[in-house]
Structure 1
Amino acid sequence: MFKVDEVDIKLLETILIGPKVHYGDLMSVTGLSKPTIVKRLNMLSVESKKLGAIIVRKRGDGIYVEGDKTELLKIIGNTHYGSEDRKNKILINVLFREEPITLQELADELFVSRDTMQKDFHQVKKTLKENDLYICKSSQGIILGGLEKNRRHLISSIINHIYDSSDGILDNQDKLDDFWSTLLDTKGVKEVQNLMYAFLKKNSIEYNNYKFKNLVIHVLIMIERVKSGSYLAPLEHNTENYILTETNSLVGQLENKFKIKLNDNEVAYLNSHIESLEDTGENGRTSKNMDKVAEFIKSYLSDMNHDQLLIEELTSHLSAAISRLDKGLVINNPYTMKVKEEFSYNFEKAVRLSKEVEKMFRVTVPENEIAYICLHFQSFSERHSELEKIKAVIVCTTGLGSSRFLEQRILRDYSQSIDLIGTFSLHEFEEKISKENIQMILSTIRISNDYNKEIVMVSPLLTDIDHSKISYALQKIRDKARLEDYLIDLLDPTRIYFKNFENVSEVVDFMSKRLIQDGLAEKGVTQSIKEREKIASTALQSVAIPHCQPKFVKKSSLSILVSKSGVDWNGSKVHLVFLISFNSELQKQLKVIYHYFSKLVSKKFLKIALKASNGQDLFDEIIDYLKEEETA
């Protein structure tokens, strides 16, 4: 096996995800220059050829892999990802450990130096702090402190990350087993999966694969923590403590199979997971506040564009979500960052709705949940889009019933944005269907892409994550639309600043003060921006996008701040700040503006901004960059 680093892995993943990529794609995902990528591909080409895979590079055609890809996939699946992988291993070790351990002992277990361990442990402590956990020191070493609930939530997030890290092109069971190897053997993990499958089937409980995965992870963690004598505290706000008959049956099976004893608190949490499996309120399995939530949603949406389907979807989702959150259950969302980046307009809608949900139902809505809410607004936008419909087909091999169900969901949710040509088996699609006018393929199975079309793998049940994938693909196709000068009209070289500040508060004070001085905003704008940051940070990697309520804006504008030293933005280091101040007159154009604005929120543009020396230079670079991106 040839040696590869994290960058090589990213290059191979991007090429294998395919069907064909270009140097611009590889430059975007790695941040490297074209000459550097060429050198790396030269090395990878030589080594991959020995494994039976040919990395093809054709001018005007693209970069792709021919031949047997099996060994390349194994390399990606078995490669440890440097510091990120070590950090997760350290976290898992500390999270499951009940006795003190020294940093030197941790370093020895991972075969790294003490200096490397100290650097990694700095990131570990940061992650622990973000999850309300902390390290306690003693003469014997370090040990974890904090609530058991928070400990298990972080373990669950790490395991979910392992499943989702390769965006679906690999089976991560080997990597998952690596984490569980010191806790449960592979047979034990499989036993839990089989037991849960049988339980859900026997009790006719509906579920999707994503929620099933969360349930299995919860049970695996529960078994190991209970074996160590660590139990959950009582559920918050739980006064009824009603346990489903099905849950009691499952508890008996788990106790007998794994020789454990679950107390009332563990049973209550497990019961909450069973209740949350279904998205609807049938059989009393989800929130009993369905009617109250429905009235709340109708009232909230009354002053904005909506349809009956949006009301129903938000009511269904929020009823289940409020029930989960009220009991302290938080589900993972691997697409949160992508949703924030790609659907920023509707993410802001979701943020505002979440704030009202918190007031009305006295729960805390995390970013993962906000991202799911955003997808419902995004689906509404797609249904009522005025853009030309995207021609698509469905390829499904799971049977007539499943294919018809998927077809009806697509027709219902994307009637205004997708022109569905038909639903076909793989054989029909490959042998009988003309590919000329097709722009997007929705498939329930993995298919090779020799047609240069946008392929989206979806579940026959069309989950929230599937909606995210489809919306992202639609946006990607539409990115080829002609460039409008919306953003350029909002920019002014005099509102592009090159200054260094310590923290977010200093930046907001400076930029909002300039808006007030220029007559573009009123005094309340500063506090409005800071209040928005308290709800959910607007930082996306090295970029922050603060904004305010329209009522404080006299004239719409966009301000930019470049900080070469970096700003501490609520724990994230930010080098580029876009301050959005749009008034109500601009609301109808917001979707289009955000579409073009999202192109500036990228590593590629960040590098351009950091090289600029003054406002006029960066202003000119922005215009050139947008035109280049639109024609790429």
Structure 2
Amino acid sequence: MASRKTERINRLIDVLQHATSRVPASVLSKILGIGERSVRNYVSEVNEQGQFRIDSSSGGYRLVATDRSNDSAFHAEADGQTTSGSLEDLESRCNYVLSCLIKASGPISIFDLAESLCISESTIAGSVMPQVRRILPQFGLSIQIHDYQIELQGKERDKRKLLGHLATHNVYGYFTSTKTLETLFPDFNVQGILSNLVEICQRSGLFINDFALSNLLVHLLVIIIRLTSNNELTDRDDIDANSVVSRFKQEREITRCAKSIATYFEGEFGCSIPDPDYQQILLLIALSIERYSYNELSIDNLSEAIDGEFVNTVVGILEDTARRYNLPNAIDDGMKLQLVLHMHNAYQRAVYHVSYPNPLASQIKQEYAPVYDMAVYLSHRFSVTYDIEIGENEIAFIAFHLGAYFERAAAPANSLSCIVIVEEYHDFARKLVDDLKSALSDDLSIIGVMSCDGYLASSPESDVVITTIDVPVTHGLKILIGPILTKQNLRKIRDRISDLLESRRMEKARLFLKSMLRPELFARNVYLDGDQDSYIDYLGNLCVEQGLATVDFIKDVHQREKVSSTAFTDALAIPHSIGGYSDSSFIAALHNDAAIPWGRHKVHFVLLIGIAKDEMAYFRDALDIIIDLYSSIDKTSRLMQTDTFEEFVDVFTQSIS
């Protein structure tokens, strides 16, 4: 990864780019985890480099030159390249060493590595190798160093996972995976290989969506790279891929595609494909294709490939998810079928150890947090039922499926009272009212039809006033339309009604949030030994002592954290339960000046949330409001400057008003 200084300068620029007002040095100091003097030094360094200009005043700092549209260095950086064109930062050096270790058939010299990187042996040993050692254990790998010779130790399957991780786990995911592989393995014509593989897949007659195709291609590239350096899969699973594929209606196409790829490998690279690798290719293709088009999907089709008990289990978990999040009418048959098929594919990927990275997972988690949280709940229930692991990438894909349906079902559905103002003219008035009732009966309850004079004389109260005359309205939302109800008029009415209902729904959530904050559940600058679990326990104990939650509830919060980190933004973590409820609804807040490591983030605020069962309907909207608040640099900056509970509540409640 990049040097800490580079990371902090990039973070400094990012904060100022997204701020709409000046950011004080004290706030930047806390966000970056450095002293105010260092902030001033970083600002001076940025200004000296000339790509940005940061203006300073007594009110803080602001970015005044951010147009980099013509900056070639910026575009090189966005394409995954280093701006200098050399391997000069720690991440590039670390990746280079890892790629050399993966390619090597035996030990490699630390002196050769230092010479290739144009750095000293001491820099390799003291800076690069510690970072390499931190990365390897998560893949079950290690390094052995003897007489200045370094060798990668571990199973072939784990080495391939590491290589796939290097290709796809960067800021831009699959969008730069090919460029990453080209950088790591310059001897390979990566783009040419990809073009041939795409052509083979297309000729096979299989439909593979863009995410699945990118994933498949990276996996196949990894296999080629390893086989050409004489590294075969020896630690095979007891999986008969032919048997798995035989249950697909596209069995012939899958087999033809796999054989074509194997033939291409052998002809292009002169390496035969061992059976374990061929089995892996078969599985990768089978678990990447779309088995049914939307129009083909039916219970009968699913029953040919999926056990009925599996279907019922997934549908049951889905219905429980809808009930927990107060969406009882959310599920239609189309959604059930789509989700069952997706969960079956996810189950197979988990069983057969086929990874499926999602390049948009972090974005989905932050921008669609309530839907992501539903996916976490559903995934956890599913993983416990079938004793498998469902990771954050799969959770994000499940959120795709849940999002459209649950967001639609969560739309405001309360009926509004309405008065219609229309002048009597033949049958036009009666027809207009009848058409309104017919088209909007689910959203509006028409409580009165009045002339202009009648309305002005009595000024009755209603939520909405639909009028064909531009009359002053004293109560309710005014919607001016023409005397003939056109499609454009109906669209206008529906949009305005939807906005009104959404506003009311969010106002209820805001009031709910304000009621949850308590001075006895507020802590400032509490630093604990240990990871995020210790902070959950600290805040949880405060809630238990106040009789708001139980020990079992806090255990449930820990379980939620294990499934997926609750750090939704760079400043904020929101630990909460995965299936349980608190005795009363509350927010226990911790605000630290120094950042708390929380998964891949470092946060300054921890809001432990408990929701009583009868108030669960507010949770989705409350979560949305909080994350929106902390996604704003300006609002977060104001919160960072608070010290007391009263100050925190004042800024918090003003920001969500």
Q: Which amino acid aligns with 1:353?
A: L
What residue is the counterpart of 2:556 in the other structure? Answer: 528
Q: Whole-Å Cα distance in 2 between the matches of residues 567 and 345 of structure 1? A: 23
Q: Whole-Å Cα distance in 2 between the matches of residues 21 and 514 of structure 1? A: 35
Q: Whole-Å Cα distance in 2 between the matches of residues 231 and 492 of structure 1? A: 60
Aligned pair count?
A: 514
What residue is the counterpart of 2:75 in the other structure? Answer: 73
**Please, which moves more after superposition, 481-490 or 261-270?**
481-490
Q: How does 1:161-560 map to 2 (within 5 A)?
A: 161=169, 164=172, 176-181=181-186, 183-184=187-188, 188-233=189-234, 235-236=236-237, 238-239=239-240, 241-242=242-243, 244-246=254-256, 247-281=258-292, 288-289=305-306, 291-303=308-320, 304=322, 305=327, 306-308=330-332, 309-386=334-411, 484-498=510-524, 499-503=526-530, 504-540=532-568, 543-549=572-578, 551-560=580-589
Q: Which runs of 5+ in 2 are unaligned?
A: 54-63, 246-253, 414-441, 443-498
Q: Could you say if the C-alpha distance between residues 25 and 198 of structure 1 is closer, same or farther in structure 2, counting changes exceeding 3 Å?
A: farther
Contact 2:178 2:190 in 1 (8 A): no
Q: Whole-Å Cα distance in 1 between the matches of residues 337 and 372 of structure 2? A: 19
Q: Could you say if the C-alpha distance between residues 506 and 223 of structure 1 is closer, same or farther in structure 2, counting changes exceeding 3 Å?
A: same
Q: Whole-Å Cα distance in 1 between the matches of residues 344 and 273 of structure 2? A: 28
Q: 1:581, CA displacement in angstroms?
A: 1.0
Q: 1:554, CA displacement in angstroms?
A: 0.8
What residue is the counterpart of 2:611 in the other structure? Answer: 582
**3-state DSSP of counterpart to 2:559:** helix
Q: Whole-Å Cα distance in 1 between the matches of residues 355 and 44 of structure 2? A: 44
Q: Whole-Å Cα distance in 1 between the matches of residues 6 and 598 of structure 2? A: 30
Q: 1:539, CA displacement in angstroms?
A: 3.9
**3-state DSSP of counterpart to 1:493:** strand
Q: Whole-Å Cα distance in 2 between the matches of residues 585 and 83 of structure 1? A: 51
Q: Whole-Å Cα distance in 2 between the matches of residues 340 and 29 of structure 1? A: 25
Q: Which has the higher contact order (CA 8 A, sep 6+)?
A: 2
Q: Whole-Å Cα distance in 2 between the matches of residues 287 and 138 of structure 1? A: 56
Q: Could you say if the C-alpha distance between residues 7 and 126 of structure 1 is closer, same or farther in structure 2, counting changes exceeding 3 Å?
A: closer
Q: Whole-Å Cα distance in 1 between the matches of residues 204 and 583 of structure 2? A: 59
Q: Whole-Å Cα distance in 2 between the matches of residues 567 and 5 of structure 1? A: 20
Q: Could you say if the C-alpha distance between residues 220 and 523 of structure 1 is closer, same or farther in structure 2, counting changes exceeding 3 Å?
A: closer
Q: Could you say if the C-alpha distance between residues 269 and 26 of structure 1 is closer, same or farther in structure 2, counting changes exceeding 3 Å?
A: farther
Contact 2:141 2:153 in 1 (8 A): yes
Q: Which amino acid aligns with 1:621?
A: V
Q: Whole-Å Cα distance in 2 between the matches of residues 373 and 591 of structure 1? A: 17
Q: Whole-Å Cα distance in 2 between the matches of residues 597 and 47 of structure 1? A: 31
Q: Could you say if the C-alpha distance between residues 362 and 37 of structure 1 is closer, same or farther in structure 2, counting changes exceeding 3 Å?
A: same
Q: 1:74, CA displacement in angstroms?
A: 4.3
Q: Which amino acid aligns with 1:264?
A: D
TM-score normalised per structure 2: 0.67
What residue is the counterpart of 1:404 in the other structure? Answer: none
Q: Which runs of 5+ in 1 are unaligned?
A: 49-61, 389-415, 417-473
Q: Whole-Å Cα distance in 2 between the matches of residues 22 and 287 of structure 1? A: 55
Contact 2:68 2:74 in 1 (8 A): no
Contact 2:544 2:551 in 1 (8 A): yes
Structural RMSD (CA): 4.4
Q: Could you say if the C-alpha distance between residues 338 and 68 of structure 1 is closer, same or farther in structure 2, counting changes exceeding 3 Å?
A: closer
Contact 1:237 1:326 in 2 (8 A): no
Q: Whole-Å Cα distance in 2 between the matches of residues 512 and 8 of structure 1? A: 35
Q: Could you say if the C-alpha distance between residues 162 and 513 of structure 1 is closer, same or farther in structure 2, counting changes exceeding 3 Å?
A: closer
Contact 2:51 2:68 in 1 (8 A): no
Q: 1:222, CA displacement in angstroms?
A: 0.7
Q: Could you say if the C-alpha distance between residues 79 and 172 of structure 1 is closer, same or farther in structure 2, counting changes exceeding 3 Å?
A: farther
Q: 1:553, CA displacement in angstroms?
A: 0.8
Q: Could you say if the C-alpha distance between residues 154 and 245 of structure 1 is closer, same or farther in structure 2, counting changes exceeding 3 Å?
A: same
**3-state DSSP of counterpart to 2:550:** coil
What residue is the counterpart of 1:128 in the other structure? Answer: 136
What residue is the counterpart of 2:91 in the other structure? Answer: 84
Q: Which amino acid aligns with 2:306?
A: N
**3-state DSSP of counterpart to 1:554:** coil
Q: Whole-Å Cα distance in 1 between the matches of residues 407 and 137 of structure 2? A: 38
| 1:109-136 deviations in Å (ceiling 9; x for gaps) | 3234534763343333222222332233
What residue is the counterpart of 1:616 in the other structure? Answer: 646
Q: 1:595, CA displacement in angstroms?
A: 1.0
Q: Could you say if the C-alpha distance between residues 617 and 582 of structure 1 is closer, same or farther in structure 2, counting changes exceeding 3 Å?
A: same
Q: Whole-Å Cα distance in 2 between the matches of residues 14 and 580 of structure 1? A: 27
What residue is the counterpart of 1:156 in the other structure? Answer: 164
| 1:153-182 deviations in Å (ceiling 9; x for gaps) | 2211221245826x96xx78655422221x
Contact 2:23 2:637 in 1 (8 A): no
| 1:472-498 deviations in Å (ceiling 9; x for gaps) | xx9xx99xx879333222112321112
What residue is the counterpart of 2:492 in the other structure? Answer: none
Q: Whole-Å Cα distance in 1 between the matches of residues 343 and 133 of structure 2? A: 33
**Please, which moves more after superposition, 200-209 or 536-545?**
536-545
Q: Could you say if the C-alpha distance between residues 611 and 12 of structure 1 is closer, same or farther in structure 2, counting changes exceeding 3 Å?
A: closer
Question: Whose radius of gyration is greater, 1 or 2?
Answer: 2
Q: Whole-Å Cα distance in 2 between the matches of residues 67 and 549 of structure 1? A: 44
Contact 1:133 1:150 in 2 (8 A): yes
Q: Which amino acid aligns with 1:508?
A: I
TM-score normalised per structure 1: 0.69
Contact 2:167 2:177 in 1 (8 A): no
Q: Which amino acid aligns with 1:331?
A: Y
Q: Whole-Å Cα distance in 2 between the matches of residues 99 and 359 of structure 1? A: 41
Q: Whole-Å Cα distance in 2 between the matches of residues 197 and 70 of structure 1? A: 30
Are 2:103 and 1:96 equivalent residues in the alignment? yes
**Please, which moves more after superposition, 117-126 or 323-332?**
117-126
Q: Could you say if the C-alpha distance between residues 102 and 587 of structure 1 is closer, same or farther in structure 2, counting changes exceeding 3 Å?
A: farther
